[in-house]
C-alpha cells in the first residue's frame, strides 16, 4: 500500500490501487467518479459546469488552469449547481493560477470550493492521461484534506466497489423538475448575452441535463423555447404543438433511460415533427430508432476533435464530451450515418432518410470549443420552417 508523502493534502485513489498524491485545492472532502481527461486548452468553467460530467472526475491535460478566473456567465448548468450535479472533481498539473481577465469575478480555487468541486494539483497529468488511454477510464476517489489525513485503503476500496456509469440513469437527476421558458441568445460584443426574438419557430427542449449554450444557440435561430423535464411524455410534448423537439445532452448511460424516455422519443419521431438530438439526446434518438449504444474505453472529451460530415466530405473541428457511443453497425436501414469521428471512426451523426429527424454526438453549441458545427441549429430551424410549410 502507498505511504502518504509529507505535505500531501490531496489524493486520487484509483480502483487498481494506484494512489496519486499532490496538493488539495477547491472543496475539501472526497468525491467518487469515473476519471476522464479533457484536452481543451480553454473553457474550464464551462467544462466543470456541464451536467454531462456528473459522477466524473476531470483530468485537464492543459497545465495552466485558472488564468481567466471565473464569472457568473460562463456556467453551463441551469440552476444553482449543487455539489455532484456536474463534474465532482478536477485534477491539474499545476496549482490554479491567479485570474487575469476583465470578466473575472472570483478566483478559480474559491469558485471550486463554493461549487463543491474537489481538486487535486501537482499531478503528472501526462502520465495519468497515458494510463487512461492505455487502460480506459478508471473509477477513482479524489480527496482533499488540509490536514493531510487520508485512509488510502478505504478510498481505493470505495473506488473498486463502485459499479460505474454503465447502466446508470443520471438524466432524470440532472433534469429540471418543472417546465420553463428560455429567451437568452448568444453572446455578442458589447452587450453580452442578447435575447432571441422567438419569432421563427416554437421548440420544446427535453432536458436531460441541458447546457445553456444549446438553448442560446437555438434561441439565436429565432426559436421560442420551452424546456421540459426528462420524464415528460410525448403526448404532453405534442399537446404544446411545437414546430420541433430538441433532445438535450446529459449524463449517464443512454440505455438506462430506456424505460421512461426512449419509447416517448419513438412516438415523437412517429408524429412527423422535426427532431434534433445532441450527445445523450443523439444516443437516445438512436436507441428509439432501433440502434444500440455501447460504453467506450476512454470516451471523447475535448474541444479539438475532427469530425467528418460524410454527406459533404467537409471536416469540422468540434467540441466533444461523451463516454458512450452509438454502435454504427447496429444502425437500421432507415437511418443514414451523417458524421464520423476522424480520431477513431465512431459514429458522430445520424439522420432518418424519410423524416426531418437527426442527431449529432458532438456539441455544435461548443462552449467551450470551435463554432464549426453551429450550422446544425440552422438546419434544425430550416426543417421546422419546411415542415410548417
Ligand atoms: N454530453 C453528453 O450528452 C454525454 C452523453 C453520455 N452521458 C455519454 O457519456 O456518452
Among 128, 161, 194, which residue terminates a domain? 161
Domain membership flag for residue 108? yes
Q: How confident is the model at residue 287, as a pLDDT?
A: 98
Which CATH number belongs to the domain containing residue 383 in this structure?
3.40.50.880
Residue positions in the annotated binding site for L-glutamine? 52, 250, 252, 280, 283, 321, 323-324
Shared domain for 54 and 151, answered yes or no, is: yes
Q: Give, for ligand 1, the residue of 251, 292, 301 to mutate: max count of ligand atoms closer than 8 Å to Cβ.
A: 251
Shared domain for 180 and 132, answered yes or no, is: no
Domain membership flag for residue 3? no
**What integer best gives the mean pLDDT of the chain?**
96
Shared domain for 153 and 255, answered yes or no, is: no
Shared domain for 233 and 277, answered yes or no, is: yes
Q: What is the number of domains present in the chain?
A: 2
Shared domain for 90 and 238, answered yes or no, is: no
Q: How confident is the model at residue 81, as a pLDDT?
A: 67
Domain membership flag for residue 166? no
Shared domain for 178 and 150, answered yes or no, is: no
Shared domain for 179 and 112, answered yes or no, is: no
Among 116, 135, 161, which residue terminates a domain? 161
Residue positions in the annotated binding site? 52, 250, 252, 280, 283, 321, 323-324
Shared domain for 193 and 292, answered yes or no, is: yes
279 is catalytic: yes
Which residue's CA is the nearest one to ligand 1's atom 3? 249
Shared domain for 342 and 305, answered yes or no, is: yes
Does position 327 have pLDDT exceeding 80, yes or no? yes
Domain membership flag for residue 188? yes
User: Interface pTM (ipTM) of the complex?
Assistant: 0.97
Shared domain for 118 and 199, answered yes or no, is: no
Q: How confident is the model at residue 79, as a pLDDT?
A: 78
Domain membership flag for residue 236? yes
Domain membership flag for residue 126? yes
Does position 289 have pLDDT exceeding 90, yes or no? yes
Domain membership flag for residue 4? no
Shared domain for 132 and 233, answered yes or no, is: no
| Predicted confidence (pLDDT) per residue in 231-282, tens digit | 999 999 999 999 999 999 999 999 999 889 999 999 999 999 999 999 999 9
Predicted confidence band of residue 1 (pLDDT cuts 50, 70, 90): low
pTM above 0.80, yes or no: yes
Q: How confident is the model at residue 117, as a pLDDT?
A: 96
Shared domain for 84 and 193, answered yes or no, is: no
Q: Ligand 1 within 6 A of 320 CB?
A: no
Q: How far does CA 113 lie from the centroid of its chain?
A: 21
- Separation of CA 151 and ligand 1 centre (Å): 32
Greater confidence, 4 or 300?
Answer: 300
Among 117, 137, 161, which residue terminates a domain? 161
Domain encompassing residue 310: 171-388
Domain membership flag for residue 190? yes
Which CATH number belongs to the domain containing residue 125 in this structure?
3.50.30.20
Amino acid at each position: 500500500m502507498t505511504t502518504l508523502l509529507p505535505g500531501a493534502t490531496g489524493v486520487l485513489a484509483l480502483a487498481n490501487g494506484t494512489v496519486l498524491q499532490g496538493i488539495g485545492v477547491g472543496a475539501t472532502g472526497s468525491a467518487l467518479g469515473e476519471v476522464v481527461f479533457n484536452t481543451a486548452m480553454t473553457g474550464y468553467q464551462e467544462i466543470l459546469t456541464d451536467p454531462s460530467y456528473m459522477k466524473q472526475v476531470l483530468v485537464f491535460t492543459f497545465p495552466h488552469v485558472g488564468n481567466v478566473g471565473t464569472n457568473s456567465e460562463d456556467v453551463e448548468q441551469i440552476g444553482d449547481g449543487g455539489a455532484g450535479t456536474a463534474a465532482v472533481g478536477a485534477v491539474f498539473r499545476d496549482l490554479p493560477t491567479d485570474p487575469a481577465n476583465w470578466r473575472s469575478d472570483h478566483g478559480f480555487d474559491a469558485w471550486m470550493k463554493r461549487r463543491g468541486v474537489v481538486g487535486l494539483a501537482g499531478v503528472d497529468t501526462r502520465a495519468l492521461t497515458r494510463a487512461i488511454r492505455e487502460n480506459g477510464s478508471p473509477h477513482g476517489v479524489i480527496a482533499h484534506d488540509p490536514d493531510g489525513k487520508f485512509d488510502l485503503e478505504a478510498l481505493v476500496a470505495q473506488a473498486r466497489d463502485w459499479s460505474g456509469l454503465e447502466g446508470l440513469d443520471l438524466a432524470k437527476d440532472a433534469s429540471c423538475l418543472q417546465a420553463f421558458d428560455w429567451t437568452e441568445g448568444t453572446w455578442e460584443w458589447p452587450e453580452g448575452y442578447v435575447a432571441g426574438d422567438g419569432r421563427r419557430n416554437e421548440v420544446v427542449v427535453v432536458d436531460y441535463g441541458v447546457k445553456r449554450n444549446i438553448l442560446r444557440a437555438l434561441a439565436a435561430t429565432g426559436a421560442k423555447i420551452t424546456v421540459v423535464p426528462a420524464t415528460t411524455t410525448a403526448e404532453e410534448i405534442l399537446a404544446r404543438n411545437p414546430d420541433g423537439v430538441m433532445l438535450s445532452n446529459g449524463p449517464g448511460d443512454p440505455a438506462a433511460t430506456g424505460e421512461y424516455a426512449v419509447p416517448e422519443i419513438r412516438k415523437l419521431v412517429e408524429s412527423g415533427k422535426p427532431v434534433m438530438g445532441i450527445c445523450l439526446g443523439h444516443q437516445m434518438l438512436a436507441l428509439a430508432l432501433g440502434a444500440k449504444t455501447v460504453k467506450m474505453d476512454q470516451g471523447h472529451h475535448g474541444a479539438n476533435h475532427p469530425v467528418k460530415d460524410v454527406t459533404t466530405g467537409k471536416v469540422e473541428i468540434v467540441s466533444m464530451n461523451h463516454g458512450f457511443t452509438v454502435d454504427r453497425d447496429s444502425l437500421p436501414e432507415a437511418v443514414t450515418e451523417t458524421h464520423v469521428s476522424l480520431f477513431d471512426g465512431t459514429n458522430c451523426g445520424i439522420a432518418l432518410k424519410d423524416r426531418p429527424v437527426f442527431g449529432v454526438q458532438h456539441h455544435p453549441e461548443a462552449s467551450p470549443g470551435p463554432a464549426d458545427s453551429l450550422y446544425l441549429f440552422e438546419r434544425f430551424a430550416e426543417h421546422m420552417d419546411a415542415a410548417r410549410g
